[in-house]
Structure formats: structure tokens, C-alpha cells
Structure 1
Amino acid sequence: MNLKFTSPFFIGIGGSGMSPLAHILLDFGYQVFGSDKSSDSSVLEKLKERKAKIFSTIENLNLSTIDAIIYSTAIDRSTNPIYLKLKEKNLPEFHRSEILHNIFKTKKSIAVAGSHGKTSTTAMIAQILLENGLDPTVMIGGEVSFLGGRGGRWGEGEWGVYESDESDGTFLNSSPEVKIVTNIDNDHLDYYKTFENLKLNFARFIENNENSKSVVCLSDSGVSETMKLIPDKAGILGYSDKNESDSSQVNFSIEKDILHFQKNNTKYQVVLPFKGEHYLKNSLAAILASEIAGVSIEDSINTLKKYLGVKRRLEFIGNTHGIQVFDDYGHHPTEILSVIQSVKQMKGKDSRCVILFQPHRFTRTKELYKEFSLALSESDFVFLLPIYSAGEEEIEGVTSALIFENSLDLRKIYPLTGDLTLDIEILIKFLKKDDILVTLGAGNVRKWGELFLQKKQKEKSSSI
């Protein structure tokens, strides 16, 4: 691995795209430094356990041994005080994508792209490659139990798998052997400006050279529209539920939580521990990509029967008084709808699907507030939090009230204040036995679910 430093400093090291890279460099023997606004997250604790040195402010920051700066698009380099302090030393600077691509160009790699499902699909492939002896290098934008609660590892095997982030266009700067596109939706338009431009960039990603192959979900309308922009479809393997007779397509169907497909004149069935058609579709992409890497379809299917999942992907966090609480990272209308559909498959006849939603970013809320309202209407009840800024400046007139005001049934949605103590009291009064509560969003909404469980459990203890 030819990186021109030995002691890099990650700005925002706790981010989902940064901490896995830090773990890979720690595996490789680098001394890792970093900063993060949060000082107590489990992500940071795992890095500290591995001797990474992490700071929350510029005080006590010793610059003498740091020899490079690593940043992400989320960092505002014009105002971030730690970046500005490090810049005074004239250190070389690298965007996180440069480090990612430098690591994985030393391997045969599988890059997983798409508006939704990247993390789950990457995790499925990583678990398949690991359990079948390929010792892969892995970068997952989430914490997984089979990597000890981390999202990144260096492996000695010839293959690697990583999430390829389309949000800032940097996914076009890589050259993987296998490229997956799970779906293409109208997200990140603050960068791409138009959906057409987003599709053009995905078309560039999908199109192959003589050394690469692509696996794409043709059931998705965004992907099928993007395919029309690609003149040379060599090396592209599609998977679809449209049941067309095309040698470059694998047909599948989903019945009663089982995915059926046929390849090489053999019929297969896939069953996962998690409910939801989106998981099953992602599993087929993982199986097809893993076959290219040398794992048989049968072995991949056997691994996925024991798929362990990813933290914050419909993650069960507790049960009290007969109320189940889950947490999910979903922050786009399509993801919200998938989560609600999965919960509906889980709940009994007396259960309610209750969503506690925290919108993520002012720009996304401005673009998609009507779609958010429509997706959330599929649940039995919604509690709505204020927007989580993710470092963005506020936009005048853009609040979670836009989602509330466009709701199809105002009797089924209730705006919360964002004050944890007050909000939890409302949840305690509302939720009842057999309800399923899902805290939903890419911000800190999980805190509401965890505190609800704590408070409700104390209520139970005090009544004994």
C-alpha cells in the first residue's frame, strides 16, 4: 500500500466513511490521529482501544508527529478550527476517497454503489468472503459484529469490498473489478443539481472497461433509465423481477420472504434472518458479485442464512412492557418506505408501526418534504423531530413543519420539540403493549429510543 505518510490525522474520524479507513490503517501499522465533535461514541471508543489518538478541540493537539491531513466532503475547511490549525504546518492533504481508492487498488475489488442499500450489500459480501476463506479487505459505512463492531479491516487475501459513495462524485475516481448498483434515486441533488445529471454519472460508473464487470438491479426504474445512457453494455449482468429472456439477466421472484432465482440452469432459494424485499434484492447482488470473486452460489446462500446485519439497519435495541424498539439509519423517502414495509411484515394484528423520524439535512428536506410525508403516511403513527443539520446552515422556511403540513392525515402525526426529556414523556404516554417503535434517521435519533427504554424500564422496576 503506497501511501505517502505514516501518521495521518482524520478530521471527523467518527464519521461512517472515515472510521473504517482509520481501522484499515491501524491494521496496517499506521499511527492514527483524529478529531471529532462527539467525545463519547462507541465508534470513537473502538478506535481509542486500538491506540488511535483522538481530540475534540485544538487544545493539547501536538502537531510534531502528524504528517498528513485526511478530510471528507462533510468538513467545511474554511471554518473548521482543527483543519485550519493543521494547515499552518503545510501538511499534505487527502480527501477520504483518495485514501479509499489507494487502499483498494492494491486488491481485486468489489465496489458497491447505489442510492440505498450500499451498507447492507457491502456487509453481505464481506461476510460471504470472510466465512469462505478469502480474507478480504473491507470498508463498510456501518458497524458490523463480524468485524468486532468495526466497519473496516485489512485482509491478506486478493479481494476487497467497499462502499462507493456517489454523494460527491468521487465514486468515479476508482477502478474496481466488480461494480454493483443497487438502485438510483433522487438523492444528493444539492451536488448533482438534477436527477438526469445523477443518472449520467451512474452511467459512467456502470460502463465497463476490458477488466471490469457490473452487477445492476434492472427492477429499479432509476437503473433501467440509466442503462439507456450506456451504448456499450458489455460485461453488465442485470438482475430483475421482470422475467425477461435475456442471457445477460438473472430473473428472480420473491414469495413469502423467499427469493427464487435461476442461474446456470440451476434454481436457487435465498432466505435471510431479516424481513424485507430490499434485503432479499441486495442479497442477490451480493451472491452474484461473490461468484465473480470465486465463491459458489451455494456457499454464499449458506452464509446469508446467518447474515448478521449492520448496526442501525433495522437494529433491535430493546423490548419493555411488550413494546419493541428498533433503530434505522434510513433518511430518504424510499428507505423510509422499505423500513415501514419490513415492520408491517413483523407486526401482529394488535401491533402499531410507530415511526419516530428525524429529518436529516435542510437541503434534503427542502427537496423531498412531500415525498417524506407520503412515505411516512404508510405507518400507523409518526412522531416528527426537528431537522438534524449535519453541519449545514439553516435554510429560511425549511423546517420539519413542511413534512407535517403535507401529511395525508394530520391525526396520525405529532411534532415533537427535540427536547429529549419532554419528548420521552409523550412517548411513554402514547406507546402501548405490542407496539413497534422505530427511531429513524441519519442523525442522533437513536438517543430517543434508548432513553425511552431506560425510562420505561425504570417505570417497570418501580412497580415491582
Structure 2
Amino acid sequence: MFEFNINDYKYKNIHMIGIGGISMSGIAILLKENGYNITGSDRQLSETSKNLINNGIDVLIGQKKENIKNPDLVIYTDAIADSNEELIAARKLDVPVVTRGVFLGALMRNYKNSIAISGSHGKSTTTSMISKILMHSSKNPSILLGGELDEIDGNVHVGDKDFLVTEACEYKGNIKYYYPSTVIILNIDEDHLDFYKDLNQIIETFKTYLRNQDKDSKTILNLNEENNKLILDAVQGELITYGQDNKDADYNATNITFDELGKPRFDLIMKDGSVEHFELSIIGRHNINNACAAIISTHENGVDIETIRKYLKEYKGLDRRMQVIGNVNGCDIMTDYGHHPSEIKVTLNALKEHTKGRLICVWQPHTYSRTKTLFNDFVESFDDADEVIITDIYAAREAFDPTINSKDVVDAMVKTGRNAIYIPDFESARDYILKEIKKDDLVITTGCGNPDELAKMIVKSK
């Protein structure tokens, strides 16, 4: 097992391949602030890479063997293939070469208290809720986020060694390397099927994760999620459950109502039977689940209810999570990070109930493998939209696959009577939308590639 002691500087010089990723960049800044010499590389210059450079980190654009100098440790992101010449050169050195997941697991062990948020959906939102609450409590947590939070002016905050809050993604089985004192599992769904064989393998990975935990650990789990019930027997330490209108849960959200904009209000029956009232400033029933996980994890770690209530209500959301970009001729333009059928369905359902005009969704599929594997689910996930526009697939880490195309999804949707059109590029989609939209319509772009750029293009063109 790879071990990392943040205080002994055994690995003083650390090189990071793929440093521009949201998680890698956060780790880079945390290490830099703790006195390490950090270098890294990425395929192209991005805003994240520029921010790293502004923080005094040497970022090399382009990944080549010459980038490997004399590191004491090399960390690489999961997107890096074994054929990457920089990674090959690193492995020829007599130094540890570890994935981001392995390193994060080792880093986690340096903190007395750690909260790791897992689940197919809602990780970033829940992590940022927890972060906001802790930042306004007596704690000074270190935070690694998968999005940007105004409270910390980005995706990372370097606090003390007492508390670490981080997302814990199951991709490539990374959670098997994590050892937090508080485990949060929001939900388990079919995703990352370019790595996992099926849902059963994903569930087994979560079980392994739970079996690895200490007997003093706490596992906080949504009992309304059917797949979560399949891993209960693997929990070590204390199990704490929550749910909506679920009497079997330790914490039960009841008396759920929404204001005219769709922002939830609810009572939470606490573990001891007392009742606390909470109000959110973000929309959607699904965010009640995220809020419950945030309430429970911070309360179980010593934060008083009044602090939790106040700062949960003040939480306004992350960038690209049902984010309003602007308004064009009375039509709101929003963007979202949702890239899985379940996420898209929940988001559109939350928006539909409070949209006066038409709900128009522009989806940029993310990766060929996800589009192909979840094809039928995607076809059925846009039913709350009055019109669906699908752009070309964002390939991300994958090579071009000629056997799947966005137009295939559109054709399948049209065959079943759904209103969908294929517009390959953002410029054409922008022009179409500007001609079509009317007052009180709502346009949302969704996907985890760069559909937020399209939303910004629409607003800038008004």
C-alpha cells in the first residue's frame, strides 16, 4: 500500500500528469500550500491550468517524456493511457508512480476527520453544501471540490490537518483506496460503463469500499435509494440512514413543500426524534437528499443545528448546476452539468413544474461509450422537455467511434414521438435558439463537456 505523510517531505518534488483536471488541480494547490514543489503537464492550456500557473506551479503544455526531470513522486490522472510517453518515462524511474485515486486515499489518512462524498449523482453539490457549512463553523477544513464554490473562490481550500472534505468518485474503482472517517453514499447507478461491466460490479466495488473502513467510521446512506440497500451488509462501524417520507430511516425528511420557484422547505425528524425545519435556496426535490446528507454529516461531526440551518439556506449552488447564465428577450438561459440519464431526468422534472413557457433542453452527449451503453435510457430521459436539441458527442478521453452518433439518438427519439432535432455545432445551435425562443421560455444546456459555453454564446448574442 502506498503511504504519504504530508509532514515528512519524503516526496518533496512531485510531478502530476494531467494536472489541469478539476481534482488534480485541487490536490496540486493543496500540496503547494503545504510546502511541496509541484510541476505538472496537461494536453492544453485551460483556465484551470492558468490558475495553477498564477499560484506558482510550473505547468507544461503537451505530454512528453522530456517533462519528466527528477521527481520524488509522480501522480497521474485516470484519463492518462498506459501508452502516454510521459507516463512511460516516469515508470522507468526508481520512484513511486501512482494514480490520483491512490494518492487521494493516502492523503486522506493524514486528517483526523475526513468526509468523503460518493454517489453517481449529487457529489459536487453535497460536497459544496458541507463545505459551506463547515467554513462558517468552528472548523477550518481542507476542501477538494469537483466544482467551484464562491465561499472558497474556486475548487480547493487549504485548511488545517483536522478536517478534510472531498468527493469520492467510484470511477475505475478509486473508492477502494479511500479511508474516510465519515462515508457518504448518495446513490448507486449504472455509470462509467467504459470501465465497469455492469451494475453488479459497481455495487461490489461499493461493498469493497465499505468493508475497508475502520470500525470507528460512520456511513451515512440514503435509504430511499434501492441500490443502496444492497450494500448495507458491508457497512463497518456506525450506519446512519436518511430518506424522504421514510419511517425506517434514522433521519426522515417530511412535510416537504416548494415555493413558487421550486425551492424546497422540509422538516427533518432527527435521530433522537426531535424535528428541525430547513429551507433551501436551490430548486429540486433531489436537492433535499443532498441537503440531508450535508445536515447529518456536519451535525454528526459537531456542528450545531442553527449554523447548519443558516448556511444551508444561504447556499446558492455551484457553477454549472442549474446555473442561470442570463436572460434573452424574457427567456432564461441556464446550464447544468448533468450527463447521465437519471441526472437529466431529475433536472428537467424540477424545472418543468415552474416553467411558464416552453422548456428547451440542449444536450451535448459525453463520451461515445456512455452514449452507446445508456442509449435507451437517454432516449427516455428528456420527456419533460418540450424540445430537445442534441449536439455532437464530446469525446473527452475516448477515440472516435463511428458506430454511435448524436443523430442516432435523435432518430430514436423522433420515432417514439418526441420532439428532438440534431444540430451538430454550437454556432448553429445558438442561431436556431435565438430564432425560436419566446418570452417565458427556458433554455438549459446540459452535459459535462463544455455546453456552458453554448449558454454563454446565446446570452452574449442578445
The answer as to 2:32 corresponding to 1:23 is no
Secondary structure of 2:207's counterpart equals: helix
1:11/1:60 CA distance change after superposition, 3 Å:
closer
Paired letter, 2:315 = Y
Query: Aligned partners of 1:3, 1:367: CA distance in 2, in Å?
Result: 44
Give the CA deviation at 1:231.
6.2
What residue in structure 2 maps to residue 290 of structure 1? 298
Counterpart mapping for 1:153-232 below 5 A: 153-156=157-160, 158-207=162-211, 209-227=214-232, 230=233
The answer as to 2:452 corresponding to 1:451 is no
Deviation string for 1:400-424 (max 9, x for gaps)?
2332122165561110122x33332
The answer on whether the counterparts of 1:58 and 1:85 sit within 8 Å (CA) in structure 2 is no
The answer on whether the counterparts of 2:42 and 2:63 sit within 8 Å (CA) in structure 1 is no
Secondary structure of 1:275's counterpart equals: coil
Query: Aligned partners of 1:299, 1:33: CA distance in 2, in Å?
Result: 39
Paired letter, 1:454 = K
Query: Aligned partners of 1:352, 1:129: CA distance in 2, in Å?
Result: 39
What residue in structure 2 maps to residue 37 of structure 1? 43
1:234/1:82 CA distance change after superposition, 3 Å:
closer
The answer on whether the counterparts of 2:117 and 2:183 sit within 8 Å (CA) in structure 1 is yes
What residue in structure 2 maps to residue 310 of structure 1? 318
The answer on whether the counterparts of 2:19 and 2:41 sit within 8 Å (CA) in structure 1 is yes
Secondary structure of 1:77's counterpart equals: coil
Query: Aligned partners of 2:391, 2:409: CA distance in 1, in Å?
Result: 10
The answer as to 2:112 corresponding to 1:105 is no
Deviation string for 1:151-180 (max 9, x for gaps)?
122211512111111011120112211100
Give the CA deviation at 1:209.
3.6
What residue in structure 2 maps to residue 274 of structure 1? 282
Q: 1:407 aligns with which of 390, 406, 413?
A: 413
Paired letter, 2:149 = V
What residue in structure 1 maps to residue 150 of structure 2? 145
Secondary structure of 1:427's counterpart equals: helix
The answer on whether the counterparts of 1:143 and 1:310 sit within 8 Å (CA) in structure 2 is yes
The answer on whether the counterparts of 1:312 and 1:329 sit within 8 Å (CA) in structure 2 is yes
Paired letter, 1:283 = A
What residue in structure 2 maps to residue 397 of structure 1? 403
Secondary structure of 1:119's counterpart equals: helix
Give the CA deviation at 1:98.
2.3
The answer on whether the counterparts of 1:180 and 1:214 sit within 8 Å (CA) in structure 2 is yes
Q: 1:374 aligns with which of 376, 380, 389?
A: 380
Give the CA deviation at 1:243.
2.9
1:187/1:232 CA distance change after superposition, 3 Å:
closer
Paired letter, 1:120 = T
What residue in structure 2 maps to residue 249 of structure 1? 250
What residue in structure 2 maps to residue 460 of structure 1? none
Query: Aligned partners of 2:200, 2:459: CA distance in 1, in Å?
Result: 44
Query: Aligned partners of 1:267, 1:27: CA distance in 2, in Å?
Result: 42
The answer on whether the counterparts of 1:369 and 1:402 sit within 8 Å (CA) in structure 2 is no
* Higher mean C-alpha deviation, range 173-182 or range 396-405: 396-405
Give the CA deviation at 1:308.
3.5
The answer on whether the counterparts of 2:22 and 2:147 sit within 8 Å (CA) in structure 1 is yes
Query: Aligned partners of 1:215, 1:3: CA distance in 2, in Å?
Result: 34
1:138/1:313 CA distance change after superposition, 3 Å:
same
1:232/1:344 CA distance change after superposition, 3 Å:
closer
Query: Aligned partners of 1:58, 1:395: CA distance in 2, in Å?
Result: 24
Query: Aligned partners of 1:20, 1:318: CA distance in 2, in Å?
Result: 29
CA-based RMSD of the aligned residues comes to 2.2
What residue in structure 1 maps to residue 261 of structure 2? none
Query: Aligned partners of 1:60, 1:197: CA distance in 2, in Å?
Result: 35
- Unpaired runs of 5+ residues, structure 2, are 1-5, 259-263
What residue in structure 2 maps to residue 459 of structure 1? none
Give the CA deviation at 1:63.
4.5
What residue in structure 2 maps to residue 235 of structure 1? 238
Give the CA deviation at 1:338.
1.7
Paired letter, 2:430 = I
Paired letter, 1:301 = R
Deviation string for 1:82-136 (max 9, x for gaps)?
4345556555312111221222211111111111111111111111111102000
Paired letter, 1:146 = E
What residue in structure 2 maps to residue 6 of structure 1? 12
What residue in structure 2 maps to residue 338 of structure 1? 346
Query: Aligned partners of 1:232, 1:362: CA distance in 2, in Å?
Result: 35
Q: 1:388 aligns with which of 377, 394, 400?
A: 394
Secondary structure of 1:305's counterpart equals: helix
Secondary structure of 2:22's counterpart equals: coil
Secondary structure of 2:102's counterpart equals: helix
The answer as to 2:258 corresponding to 1:258 is no
Give the CA deviation at 1:284.
0.6
TM-score w.r.t. structure 1 length? 0.90
Query: Aligned partners of 1:167, 1:308: CA distance in 2, in Å?
Result: 28
Query: Aligned partners of 1:233, 1:48: CA distance in 2, in Å?
Result: 42
The answer on whether the counterparts of 1:19 and 1:43 sit within 8 Å (CA) in structure 2 is yes
Query: Aligned partners of 1:138, 1:148: CA distance in 2, in Å?
Result: 12
Paired letter, 1:239 = Y
1:234/1:175 CA distance change after superposition, 3 Å:
closer
Secondary structure of 2:230's counterpart equals: helix
Secondary structure of 1:17's counterpart equals: helix
- Unpaired runs of 5+ residues, structure 1, are 457-464
Q: Percent identity?
A: 29
The answer on whether the counterparts of 1:26 and 1:32 sit within 8 Å (CA) in structure 2 is yes
1:213/1:59 CA distance change after superposition, 3 Å:
closer
Give the CA deviation at 1:255.
2.1
What residue in structure 2 maps to residue 361 of structure 1? 367
